[in-house]
Amino acid sequence: MLNLVLSIIIILFVVYYVYWYIVGRRAAKYVDEAQFGELISAGQVIDLRENADYRNAHIMGARNISYQMFAQSLAALRKDRPVLLYDTTTRLSTRAAVKLHKEGYTEVYILKGGFTGWHGKKASKH
């Protein structure tokens, strides 16, 4: 019985991640660090992490819209310019990309590996 419950939990966990992977791929293009860096000058770079994390360090040129405030802040984003998203990994970026896609944004990019994988220019308080 315990094995059955564990198997079901594992299957649900896998289905959940596969679902978000597929939905995310439809809503945005995942780009590596080099591609993300090339897009920065033409796009709107959004850091979805909490404000304290943003203040500590962020990608140069990014503005902070925490994921919790993202839905209320969509009006601040232009649909005619690319939107570049990142968070610590890619979980929140994927969810934000889905919201943008539903609102008609067509050029949405997510940094593969999130801020953790960024080695380019950073702004920090240090």
pLDDT above 70 covers a percentage of the chain that reads: 98
Domains of the chain plus CATH, in order, are 2-124 (3.40.250.10)
Distance from C-alpha of 98 to C-alpha of 63, rounded to nearest angstrom: 19
Helix (H) or strand (E) holding 109: strand 108-111
pLDDT of 23 higher than 80: no
- Given this model, what pLDDT does residue 126 score? 56
Lowest mean pLDDT among 4-8, 17-21, 63-67: 17-21
Contacts of 50 (CB under 8 A, 6+ apart): 66
Whole-number pLDDT of residue 87: 97
Mind listing the pLDDT tens digit for each residue in 31-62?
A: 999 999 999 999 999 999 999 999 999 999 99
